[in-house]
Amino acid sequence: MDTLINLMDGLASALTPQNLMWAFLGVLLGTAVGVLPGMGSAMAVALLLPVTFRFDPTSAFILFAGVYYGGMFGGATTSILLNTPGQASSIATTYEGHKMALNGRAAQALGTAVIGSFVASVIGTLVVALFAPVMVAFALNFGPGEYFALTVFSFVAVAAVVSGSVLRGVTSLLIGLAIGLVGIDAQSGAARFDFGSSSLMDGIDIVIVTVGLLALGEVLYIAARGKSAPNFAAIRTGRPWLGRKDLRRSWKPWLRGTALGSAFGPIPGSGAEIPTFLSLGLERRLAARRARRTGEEDEFGQGAIEGVAGPESANNSSAAGTMVPLLGLGLPTSATAAIMLAAFQQYGLQPGPVLFERNAELVWTLLASLLIGSVLLLVINLPFAPLWARLLKLPKPYLYAGITLFSVLAVYAINTSVTHLVMLLAVAVLGLVMRTFGVPVAPALIGVVLGPIAETEFRRALAASSGDPSILVGSGISIGLYALVLLAAALPLIAFLRRRRADARAVDVKEPVERP
Amino acid sequence: MSPDGTDEKHTAGTDPSETTDGSGPPETTDVVETRGTETNTADTAADTAPDPETTVWRGPAAWIVPALAAILGLVALWGAVTIEAPPNATSPGPGAFPGAVGALLLIIAVCMSVVNLRNQGSGKGSSPFAWFESRPVLLVLVGLVAHTALLEFVGWLLAGALLFWVVAYAFGARAYLRDAIVALSMSAAVQVGFSLGLGLNLPGGFLELVL
């Protein structure tokens, strides 16, 4: 009950014209970056970060949350119409969604995607409102040892799960951790890796890292791909519309997708892809079973509306789900959440129990504005989805020139320092190298944000026990987390070994002579 | 796969004209199914570049990332040894964490080298240099360097417009005059928007003296 009252209070303070404007601006921007391939909500939030320093924190977070949700809505439009997912979270939508569009059912596909996203955002946000306080109550038992275990868990989960190759995921994470080392050590005050430069003494600003890796790195990478970069061609559209039959087929996948997204959103490293693909697989299996039992036609492979409804609600509720550990524990589980955590830190706020105690108003206003954002997104997406798809007709040179200009601006705005621009250039080249060699950048971002937290908690734990390392495994919570670490580390290893055995068998059959 | 914002995945060969010409499944299907098999070679992807996240590195380029990891690891280790801890620092001092990160980076570099050597023998994989187009990349970098160098002398308006124009040129815009007008108006809009809306002063450069 408390939760509902708090949420109502939040709603009341979120409904000021100013906050509404920020929410609207956020969802508008989020939808735009969601539509455009190669841009994501993480990049948009990173570019906005320095600009919003001058705002009060509530407005800034309303803006960020709107961008985050909007990205999930916008991604669907291009997946369906162009088979070009705007974000990784909408890849699963392309399979059935684009086939529906090719069959002339683009309107229904867009309709079920937008309404499904709306349903999932609202339910997902309510789940956050209910569970974040529970998470906070749980987190009150956390000491430095437990927090350290938590960061180790997310490092391993992110590095092992996010990328195609574990080795590259770990490389990315370590690069991020190394970048996070630069600057004055918070515990002892010793200057580290400053190489005699006073700018480096303050550390490498998170804005530089995110803008460099995500925005400028992407621009350079697309330049490098030249002709093989995506080309946005003609668009066939339709106004989103759902008939009664489609509605009947959609509502169950919406709810199932929402449940999957909410369950996986809070887990570090799972991101939005895992629940979307799980949802797609689940709907496909259910459709096959329905076809066997009732003889109802299984449309999967030819454009089944269930295959759009499920994944699209899953990615939205997973975006909501990442808010639970972010607000409750200060633990980011996606790249966008990592940047939002950095934003909290820049405002001197520490997500977790303290935030709920001292800045309760901000938290509840934020949650309430997520609800408002969902409604706004429904309004700007349902009638205007074809209009959003037209964004792809923007000339590509101007689009990337614009991103470059804003990247430079965002970094210069931190402290009006040209030295920061030089650092940006270095990080952007690093981002280009990582992308070119397929080293994922998300683990690096999590490493930069969580690395200093992990170090601080580790050293605080040891200081509290005066050097006795047993404090690190001193409670059931930390032992449980380390067990999860081992599990997260073991899963890809087992998959790798099984794959290798299968490969070896295949080679044996084909060319038995060449085997050493 | 990568979470939102890091969308290398589908920049790989999602040219719609290709997927609609009636041959085979869309490229994205390809990407997801070959994920993690580590054997996605360039010749399966025809003229489009392969998805970098699952390709095996080959040739001299394969050593760039291991070398990067090794250098970073050495710097971190060097720092761990040379950082002067203040006398009052508690037992795991400021050098402990850099030491751990540095050691792990070196281990990773060794692992990647081993993988490289084994791949070199097996003959699979591809070199990123096969598709990497360095000209536009260099152009963008030159634009950024010029912008950084000029910003405080000629002011945001001109430096920003120059950057926009160069990047647009690198991406293939050839309507020079129109590009210049777009570039100038973007730069001006940003400057006006920022000083009016946010009170952020971007450098005016010599124009400030003239006007």
pLDDT in tens, A206-217: 889 988 988 899
Using pLDDT thresholds of 50, 70 and 90, give the confidence band for residue B207: low
B162 and B113 in a common domain = no
Contact A440 B6 (CB under 8 A): yes
* Same-domain status, B153 and B200: yes
Smallest CA-to-CA distance from A73 within A40, A113, A20 is with: A113
Q: How far apart are CA A450 and CA B95, in angstroms?
A: 18
Cα dihedral A485, A339, A144, A443 sign? positive
Report yes or no: B71 at the A interface, CB cutoff 8 Å: no
Per-residue confidence at B107, pLDDT binned at 50, 70, 90? very high
Number of domains forming the structure of chain B? 3
Q: B211 CA to chain A: closest CA distance, Å?
A: 22
Q: Find the residue in B nearest to A502 (Cα).
A: B37
Residue B2 falls inside a structural domain: no
Exposure string over B117-151, b if 16+ CB within 10 A, otherwise e: eebeeeeebbebeebbbeebbebbbebbeebbebb
- Cross-chain Cβ contact B112/A171 below 8 Å: yes
Taking the C-alpha atoms of residue B101 and residue A477, their distance in angstroms, rounded to an integer, is 25
Q: Do A458 and B92 touch (CB under 8 A)?
A: yes
Are A114 and A130 a contacting pair, CB within 8 Å? no
The owner of tokens 């023998």 is B121
Considering the domain architecture, whether residues B50 and B75 belong to the same structural domain is answered as: no
Residue B104 within any structural domain of the chain: yes
The model's pLDDT over A339-357, given as tens digits with 9 standing for 90+, comes to 888 888 888 888 888 888 8
Last residue of a domain, one of B21, B38, B54: B54
Using DSSP's 3-state secondary structure scheme, residue B13 falls into coil
Does any domain span residue B3?
no
Does the pLDDT at position A303 exceed 90?
Answer: no
b/e sequence A78-116, b meaning 16+ C-beta within 10 Å: bbbbbbbbbbbbbbbbbbbbbbbbeeebbbbbbbbbbbb
Cβ distance of A181 and B139 shorter than 8 Å: no
ipTM given for this complex: 0.79
Q: Which helix (H) or strand (E) holds A184?
A: strand A183-184
pLDDT at residue number A175: 95
Rounded distance, CA A262 to CA A317, Å? 5
- Whether B47 and B93 map to the same domain: the answer is no
Query: How far, CA to CA in Å, does A255 sit from each of A136, A262, A324, B105?
Result: 26, 10, 19, 44
Whether residue B154 lies inside any domain: the answer is: yes
Spatial neighbors of A343 by CB under 8 A, at least 6 apart, are: A45, A49, A52, A60, A61, A64
What is the mean predicted confidence (pLDDT) over A9-20?
Answer: 86
User: Which of B130, B159, B191 is at the close of a domain?
Assistant: B130
pLDDT digits (tens, 9 = 90+) for B8-52: 333 333 333 333 333 333 333 333 333 333 333 333 333 344 566
Domain that holds residue B69: 60-130
Residues B199 and B141 in one domain: yes
Q: How far is A289 from chain B (nearest CA, A)?
A: 24
User: Would you state the pLDDT for residue B45?
Assistant: 32
